[in-house]
């Protein structure tokens, strides 16, 4: 797999990563009970490197904490060949509930120290603010992460689901290497303001849920049921009615995939890769077979006409249902 470079960093050097990364969240939460054991997930994480995937994305809040521990154990023997991204920014109660955002400088430092231990490493390659904290000036956040970089505990600063204006303010204090937000064929929000800002400032972009939480793979049927604890039960876009309405979009992608000898998921990822050379999607999975499939998207070439057709797909067909519910949206776009 070829590599891509995110941002510039404090010394002008960007962060080189595989063109497709791996989101580890689903191994610990959000998609119902994991059918595999801890050892199975460690094997899946390690297999990613065998297929060219070097960027692994986690966060303290996934679990919470257990996902970082899982990633730390998995990559310890291959640490020098893996780029670890993790995140700070939530207030997590003793019982594991997260009850709001917290990016106070002292909290950022506490999270960094705890994450380093769980990840079994002496440096975090990419440290994202998971959600913007409106009560803490973003300049203070950027400055604190900058101090951690200078101390050698963090290599690069990232932000997630931030507005273009907030990204600019942060970047003016300390270079933002990457921004992570939801982006896919059916979630196009970053295109209006965020992506042009990143292009101007030389910041990389890391789309999460690039496969639409599984829907764009064509494997989530209209009448599918979701297990207890599956985040999709809380998302308006995944009601049975909205899935039925959105099936036209998936059918269109599936038709192109069949014509090109690819899978719908590979088409969705290839479209993202074709948007900009500094975009690195991080699809999540619990199976090595999916890692292989996702990695294969880097070999899927889209013609100019095919890309243009996909560019306008959501506009032509429409997308039914919001990507978040009201509570989830309250943490986005500051």
**Between the CA of residue 147 and those of 15, 21, 37, 122, 144, what are the distances in Å?**
18, 27, 38, 15, 5
**How far apart are alpha carbons 178 and 55 in whole angstroms?**
13
Q: Are 81 and 49 in contact (CB under 8 A)?
A: yes
φ and ψ at 4, to 5 degrees? -130, 160
Contact 15, 5 (CB under 8 A): yes
Residue tagged 């939460």 (tokens): 29
Catalytically annotated residue among 31, 62, 128, 324: 62
Closest by CA to 47, choosing from 65, 15, 27, 22, is: 22
Q: How far apart are CA 156 and CA 290, in angstroms?
A: 28
Could you confirm whether 62 is annotated as catalytic?
Answer: yes
Give catalytic residues, as residue numbers. Answer: 62
């Amino acid at each position: 797999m070829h590599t891509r470079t995110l941002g510039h960093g404090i010394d002008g050097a960007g962060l080189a990563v595989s063109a497709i990364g791996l989101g580890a969240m689903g191994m610990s939460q959000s998609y119902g009970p994991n059918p595999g054991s801890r050892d199975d997930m460690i094997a899946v994480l390690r297999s990613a490197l065998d297929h060219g995937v070097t960027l692994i994305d986690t966060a303290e809040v996934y679990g919470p904490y257990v996902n970082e521990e899982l990633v730390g154990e998995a990559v310890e023997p291959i640490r020098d060949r893996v780029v670890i991204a993790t995140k700070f920014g939530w207030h997590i109660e003793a019982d594991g509930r997260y009850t709001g955002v917290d990016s106070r400088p002292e909290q950022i430092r506490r999270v960094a120290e705890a994450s380093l231990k769980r990840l079994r490493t002496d440096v975090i390659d990419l440290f994202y603010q998971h959600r913007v904290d409106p009560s803490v000036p973003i300049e203070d956040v950027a400055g604190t992460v900058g101090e951690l970089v200078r101390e050698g505990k963090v290599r690069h600063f990232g932000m997630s689901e931030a507005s273009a204006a907030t990204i600019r303010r942060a970047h003016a204090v300390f270079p933002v290497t990457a921004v992570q937000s939801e982006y896919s064929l059916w979630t196009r929000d970053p295109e209006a303001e965020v992506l042009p800002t990143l292009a101007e400032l030389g910041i990389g972009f890391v789309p999460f849920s690039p496969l639409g939480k599984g829907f764009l793979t064509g494997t989530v049927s209209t009448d599918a049921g979701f297990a207890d604890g599956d985040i999709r039960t809380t998302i308006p876009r995944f009601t049975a009615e909205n899935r039925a309405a959105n099936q036209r979009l998936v059918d269109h992608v599936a038709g192109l995939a069949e014509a090109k000898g690819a899978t719908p998921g590979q088409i969705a990822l290839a479209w993202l890769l074709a948007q900009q050379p500094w975009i690195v999607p991080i699809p999540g999975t619990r199976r090595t077979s999916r890692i292989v499939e996702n990695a294969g998207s880097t070999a899927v070439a889209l013609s100019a006409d095919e890309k243009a057709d996909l560019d306008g797909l959501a506009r032509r067909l429409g997308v039914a249902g919001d990507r978040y519910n009201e509570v989830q949206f309250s943490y986005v776009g500051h």
